[in-house]
Structure 1
Amino acid sequence: MSNIQDQIEQAREQARQACETSGEDSADCAVAWDTVEELQAEASHKRQVKPKNSLEMYCDENPDAAECRVYDE
């Protein structure tokens, strides 16, 4: 998770530099801040993924076990 946080910090710095260089109303500035927003959204999505319970982990390791069978109706 810290890797994406590092990427967000780098993108923020690049966005600040782009806005200083090109101006706050420039397309470069807007694109740079859009990148920051996309990275933040990805980080938020990763935090929302629920961890697997013990049965799910067991079934990942033993897909042929009776407890893990899925029947189509």
Structure 2
Amino acid sequence: MQTNLEVVQAAVTADQNGTKTLQQAILEAINEARSTCDRNGSDSTNCAVAWEIVEELQAEKAHQQQAKKRKTFLESYCEQHPEAIECLIYDV
């Protein structure tokens, strides 16, 4: 069985490569956790580990959403008007 870290890293890598989204990985992990708990019982260690993987994937998704930076009004303005004096950047 893979460790939690390996599963989460594989899901993040797949998300970055475009082969599978993080949301798809979460849904697959939920299905896997449910089947693991059905097979081994809800009090088993494997069941707890499976749900921990789901929690880690959900936390990673939340972290990625927070990491997406919101544009300021100035950044939006400069995208539309790159020649404006406020948007010029000089190397010193």
TM-score by length of structure 2 reads 0.55
1:17-72 deviations in Å (ceiling 9; x for gaps): 000000000000000000000000000000001157758xxxxxxxxx60xx6xxx
4+ residue stretches of structure 1 with deviation over 6 A? none
Aligned length: 58
Q: Is there any run of 5+ residues in structure 1 with no aligned partner, and where?
A: 56-64
Q: Which residue of 2 aligns with 1:5?
A: 23
Q: Which residue of 1 aligns with 2:37?
A: 19
Distance 1:22 1:9 in 2: 20
Identity, % of aligned positions: 43
Q: Is there any run of 5+ residues in structure 2 with no aligned partner, and where?
A: 1-14, 79-89
CA RMSD, 1 decimal: 2.3
TM-score by length of structure 1 reads 0.69
> What amino acid maps onto 1:46 in structure 2?
Q
